[in-house]
Amino acid sequence: MTVETHCPYCALQCGMTLAGAEVKPREFPTNRGGLCQKGWTSGALLSSPARLTTPLLHGKPVTWDTALDFVAERIERIQRQHGRDGMAILGGGGLTNEKSYALGKFARVALRTSQIDYNGRFCMSSAAAAGNRAFGVDRGMPFPVTDLDDADVVLLIGANPAETMPPFMQHLKAGLIVVDPRRTATAERAMLHLKPSPGTDLALALGILHSVFVDGHADKQYMNDRTTGFDEAWRIAAAWWPERVERVTGVSATDQRTVARLLANARNAYILTARGTEQHATGTDTVNAWINLALSLGLPGKRGSGYGCLTGQGNGQGGREHGQKTDQLPGYRKIDDPAAREYVAGVWGVSPDSLPGPGRSAYELLDALGRPHGPQGLLVFGSNPVVSAPRSAHVAERLADLDLLVVADFVPNETTALADVVLPVTQWAEEEGTLTNLEGRILHRRPALRPPDGVRTDLEVLQELAIRLGQPAERFPTDAETVFAELGRASKGGVADYSGITYDRLRAGEALHWPVPSADHAGTPRLFLDSFGHPDGKARFIPVDHKGPAEDVDADFPLRATTGRVLAHYQSGAQTRLIKELTDAVPESYVEVHPDTAARSGLEHGDLAKVTSRRGEVQARVRIVASMRPDVVFLPFHFPGDNNANRLTNPALDPSSRMPEFKVCAVRLEGTT
């Protein structure tokens, strides 16, 4: 039997076919029959000997009842002593829509805690906040990926899809301009590569906006008809003439003017951002600066042009719509909006007053764990924060201080290693659910294999815990289709309205992009063609100014470190480090260094280096890369322990999105002896 499904990893959600655990690529608009190395090897984890198949209590195998009884009893004790907010939940953007929804409901109804957030806070949150400010709606790409095929210029900022979404490169055919401090595999394929210092994108965007306006490229008709707020934004951009921007960013004034001209002269132009521009303490303002540029050129909301953000995780888009984000209820509703509370409480059959308000964002939550006024218990579904959170050694200490750490996962990782209770769950190919891909299209994940004996689904785990906490079983159904139908009702009338989507429509292969407000609605592949999401229908220029990185270089920490991804590994590496072909490809961490910088530290290619920041130190193998900026080093974040780049990173948070500054911190580089 072969089953048509989608890759378990990133938001491109490439189409694939499974025959048993054997993966074959499948024609789908986002991947056109392509898969990356991770997708090809994704079947290997289904039968991996490393798989968790029995619950663990303090490291020892126990029955499900023993484990679940222990968890429920501890939860009740913690909440008796510390109140409802004594318990917390960390979710993930890899969870299906059904799981994300059930997890948010479990937090608000079964635990009645405000303390829930998810790893998407570390991922997409700055672009989401910026999109909401500018457009009144956050859908990463407000158009189908295939629209990019007709572009003659694409400005790609802080994104390396040649490694992070290889099949996506098929959609970037002509006129690629890349903004990245490193000469990445993506930059290699660009007609123009701008190499700013990490954390200076905002200045660069202001410089290009300045050129657009001064050189007469602005689309004044569009600005007049479809936007507000340009004058305030321009007051700031007026002071950022390209020569001044060149001194801050290292990008020449000529290149800035060239980009302005290329974008303005293009018939079909797009501006796309990803984590390089977003994962900063000024990430939201930075994205708004790029959106301001797009608005000055009249790109958003027109067929054949636009602004978009490349969502990262498999369900990074859906994961932020159904209520696992601390400030949200399903349908992308605000948890502090009385009408939203009343509506969702009605769907859940509880009183609106019983719903908690917003709690802490992911890093603030992790930082508060085990402290006198913070949560004393944490349930983790779909994240490995010991590796992926900023200032990770501190986060590991906070986790170790808890009275109760419970992790549901299908493989052991650095966070399960600290857990009191580990609950073994099913994997993608063994369960049903939906995911919303990077273009806001809802996809059906079909069950293809029988799960191994002993594991349960996340939905079953939530139901079992809810029952033990005194909830009626029917309130937490375990059948994904039933959960989806309820999610649809809960989202009805919200920004991300799924109420017109059914499993039958998805099974029939309909291409449904949200909002889909009724059963006879064909979905919304292109948002904003007629109007933007704000009440006046207009997009907003946001006045933003350049601040630069939260921490400066000095004599002790003279280099800027940035972090990111390599093709062979996924995220914290919990899954991909278990796959031989992938660990053979990239077995350990490394640091990319300019030859002069390495020489100054007495290091050669292949040496083991020590990289130190104000938060900690790591070891990494030196890779001499001639195209690196001499003031910048790069480390992948996929590795644990002494190799873990997040021991270095700065948890300075963006004031709107609460995104940590993963993409720049001050370090020094030394030999290890």
Q: CA triplet 584, 586, 589: central angle to 5 degrees?
A: 135
CB atoms within 10 A of CB 37: 17
The helices-and-strands tally (H runs, E runs) of the chain is 22, 29
Q: Which stretch binds Mo ion (CB under 5 A): 22-30, 221-229, 292-300, 305-313?
A: 305-313
- Binding site residues, ligand SF4, CB under 6 A: 7, 9-10, 12-14, 31, 35-36, 38-39, 165-167
CB of 236 to ligand MGD, least distance (A): 19
Which lies closer to ligand MGD via its Cβ, residue 31 or residue 313? 313
Q: What is the DSSP letter of 560?
A: E
CB of 13 to ligand SF4, least distance (A): 5
Sign (positive/negative) of CA torsion 316, 319, 321, 324?
negative
C-alpha distance from residue 611 to each of 300, 416, 421, 564 (Å): 42, 27, 34, 16
Which lies closer to ligand MGD via its Cβ, residue 340 or residue 618? 618
Q: Which of the listed partners (Mo ion, ligand SF4, ligand MGD, none) does 399 bind, with a CB threshold of 5 to 8 Å by partner kind? A: none
Amino acid at 294: A
Residue nearest to ligand SF4 (CB): 39
End-to-end CA distance of the chain: 57
Q: Which stretch binds Mo ion (CB under 5 A): 4-12, 116-124, 395-403, 499-507?
A: 116-124
Looking at the chain, how many residues does it have? 673
Among 312, 330, 440, 515, binds Mo ion (CB under 5 A): 312
C-alpha distance from residue 24 to each of 14, 42, 65 (Å): 11, 10, 38
CB of 291 to ligand MGD, least distance (A): 15
CB of 663 to ligand MGD, least distance (A): 4
CB of 519 to ligand SF4, least distance (A): 29
Q: Phi then psi for 273, rounded to 5 degrees?
A: -120, 160
Among 45, 90, 123, 609, binds Mo ion (CB under 5 A): 123
Examine residue 515 and say whether the peptide bond preceding it is cis (omega within 30 degrees of 0): yes
CB of 388 to ligand SF4, least distance (A): 17
CB of 154 to ligand SF4, least distance (A): 18
Is the Cβ–Cβ distance between 381 and 458 less than 8 Å? yes
Q: Which of the listed partners (ligand MGD, ligand SF4, Mo ion, none) does 567 bind, with a CB threshold of 5 to 8 Å by partner kind? A: ligand MGD
H/E element, 77: helix 64-82
Which lies closer to ligand MGD via its Cβ, residue 444 or residue 663? 663
Q: Which of the listed partners (Mo ion, ligand MGD, ligand SF4, none) does 466 bind, with a CB threshold of 5 to 8 Å by partner kind? A: none
Which lies closer to ligand MGD via its Cβ, residue 308 or residue 564? 564
Which lies closer to ligand MGD via its Cβ, residue 102 or residue 274? 274
Distance in angstroms (rounded) separating the CA atoms of residues 273 and 154? 11
CB of 126 to Mo ion, least distance (A): 11
Residue 480 interacts with Mo ion (CB under 5 A): yes or no = no
Q: Phi then psi for 354, rounded to 5 degrees?
A: -80, -15
CB of 273 to ligand SF4, least distance (A): 18
Closest alpha carbon to 124 in 169, 94, 86 = 94
- Binding site residues, ligand MGD, CB under 6 A: 10, 92-95, 119, 122-123, 157-161, 163-165, 179-182, 184, 198-199, 201, 274-277, 279, 312-313, 381-384, 387-388, 408-411, 413, 425, 458, 562-565, 567, 569-572, 574-575, 634, 637, 645-646, 649, 662-664
Q: Which stretch binds Mo ion (CB under 5 A): 182-190, 307-315, 330-338, 452-460?
A: 307-315
Q: Which of the listed partners (Mo ion, ligand MGD, ligand SF4, none) does 360 bind, with a CB threshold of 5 to 8 Å by partner kind? A: none
Q: CA triplet 381, 13, 291: central angle to 5 degrees?
A: 90
Distance of CA 555 to the CA centre of its chain: 34
H/E element, 491: helix 480-491
Q: Which of the listed partners (ligand SF4, ligand MGD, Mo ion, none) does 7 bind, with a CB threshold of 5 to 8 Å by partner kind? A: ligand SF4
Distance in angstroms (rounded) separating the CA atoms of residues 518 and 488? 10
Distance in angstroms (rounded) separating the CA atoms of residues 266 and 494? 36
The pair of structure tokens assigned to 365 is 């939550």
Distance in angstroms (rounded) separating the CA atoms of residues 587 and 577? 8
Distance in angstroms (rounded) separating the CA atoms of residues 635 and 622? 10
CB of 411 to ligand SF4, least distance (A): 17
CB of 533 to ligand MGD, least distance (A): 23
Q: Which of the listed partners (ligand SF4, ligand MGD, Mo ion, none) does 442 bind, with a CB threshold of 5 to 8 Å by partner kind? A: none
For 512-640, strand residue ranges (E) read 539-540, 559-564, 590-593, 608-613, 617-624, 632-636
Which lies closer to Mo ion via its Cβ, residue 119 or residue 612? 119
Please name every residue paired with 623 in a beta bridge, in sequence order, or none if there are none.
592
CB of 566 to ligand MGD, least distance (A): 6
Amino acid at 21: A
Which lies closer to ligand MGD via its Cβ, residue 7 or residue 72? 7
Which lies closer to ligand SF4 via its Cβ, residue 35 or residue 218? 35
Q: Which residues bind Mo ion (CB under 5 A)?
A: 123, 312
